[in-house]
Amino acid sequence: MKCELNRKVWKYTGEDFSFKLIDEKLHTYSSLILKPLHIKIMTNESSRSTKELKQYIIDMFFFEENERVRLHNNEVARKRREKRKNVA
């Protein structure tokens, strides 16, 4: 997969599909877990439906990043809950 900036929009291109994120500001979010609803399919020449392709993209290209963000978010939440528990 390759990623290129074109007219201030990051476009991701795979073998038989291309997509972008629905909003460019999502690229700057550090605690966002990407989901299929964050993806806009631009071209789909694969045998997958749009829904299947979005899930495939999330599973294949964003899984590791999503997992890292999920673990970080959970750690922050644990610290916040512990802090509240000690204050009360």
pLDDT per residue over 54-69, tens digit each?
999 999 999 999 999 9
Q: Give per-residue pLDDT as tens, 7-25.
A: 889 999 998 999 999 999 9
Nearest one of 5, 10, 7, 14 to 54, comparing CA atoms: 14
* Mean pLDDT, all residues of the chain: 94
Q: Give the count of domains, the chain.
A: 1
* pLDDT on residue 87: 80
| Pairwise CA distance, residues 6 & 3, whole Å | 10
Q: Which long-range contacts (CB under 8 A, 24 or more apart) does 37-44 make?
A: 41/17, 42/11, 42/18, 43/17, 43/18, 44/16, 44/17
* pLDDT on residue 88: 63
Q: Decide if 46 contacts 13 (C-beta within 8 A).
A: no
- Domain with 47 in it: 2-87
